């Protein structure tokens, strides 16, 4: 895991895995916004906490409020442009881990279901085979828990639609434990939070294009 002597958070939130002149990698806790929302009560977010330490930090991508894990920030407009372009071209390898309800029968596979915003019920998304945007998730089961009747699964969102992993897993009958937006009451009761974590990122450094990897284990 890359580190830098220039990165010193001195024990101040947020948790920073790496920073240099162009790149910051931080860990977002579950329940914290990625960027400010509307209203005074929604100004605390990971972006604001990172910018309190590094004022030149710029947002590159986002995670759902309920999701924990790795987020990338750029330092400067050129680094932001390069990193944003890499996310848009899907050349950044992103992996998540989740705990889902039920025992998944397939050990690996793909979920290829188009998604669209459920406008009357925003921010919910939904599968729409006619109007939806192409959306692809790859998954690999890493374990089962018989006592709770859950499955631990590694996820690769090939596309990056809003709520993609949550909607795709719900669509195949295995909603993510603790999902208060898409899961029924019994699924919500499985955990006090959404059990979805962005655990790894592999990307090209915006300065010299060298491949660098970051990993943060799921807290569940």
**The one catalytic residue among 9, 64, 128, 179:** 64
Q: How far is CA 211 from CA 51, 132, 154, 202, 214, in A?
A: 25, 33, 22, 7, 10
CA distance 108 to 104: 9
The answer to whether residue 9 is catalytic is: no
Q: How far is CA 32 from CA 81, 192, 193, in A?
A: 25, 14, 12
CA distance 111 to 139: 8
Residues in the chain: 220
* Residues designated catalytic: 64
């Amino acid at each position: 895991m890359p580190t830098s002597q220039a990165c010193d958070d001195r024990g101040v939130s947020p948790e920073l895995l790496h920073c240099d002149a162009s790149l910051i990698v931080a860990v977002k806790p579950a329940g914290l916004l990625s960027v400010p929302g509307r209203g005074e009560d929604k100004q605390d977010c990971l972006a604001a906490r990172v910018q309190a330490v590094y004022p030149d930090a710029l947002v590159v991508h986002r995670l759902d409020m309920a999701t924990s894990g790795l987020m990338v920030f750029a330092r400067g407009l050129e680094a932001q442009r390069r990193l944003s372009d890499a996310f848009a071209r899907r050349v950044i390898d992103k992996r998540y881990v989740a705990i889902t309800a039920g025992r998944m029968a397939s050990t690996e596979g793909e979920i290829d279901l188009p998604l669209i915003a459920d406008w009357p019920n925003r921010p919910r998304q939904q599968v729409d085979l006619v109007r939806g945007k192409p959306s692809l998730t790859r998954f690999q089961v890493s374990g089962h828990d018989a006592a709770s009747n859950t499955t631990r699964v590694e996820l690769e969102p090939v596309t990056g639609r809003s709520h993609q992993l949550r909607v795709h897993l719900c669509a195949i009958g295995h909603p993510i434990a603790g999902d208060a937006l898409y899961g029924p009451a019994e699924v919500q009761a499985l955990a006090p939070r959404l059990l979805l974590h962005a655990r790894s990122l592999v990307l090209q450094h915006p300065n010299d294009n060298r491949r660098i990897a970051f990993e943060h284990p799921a807290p569940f």
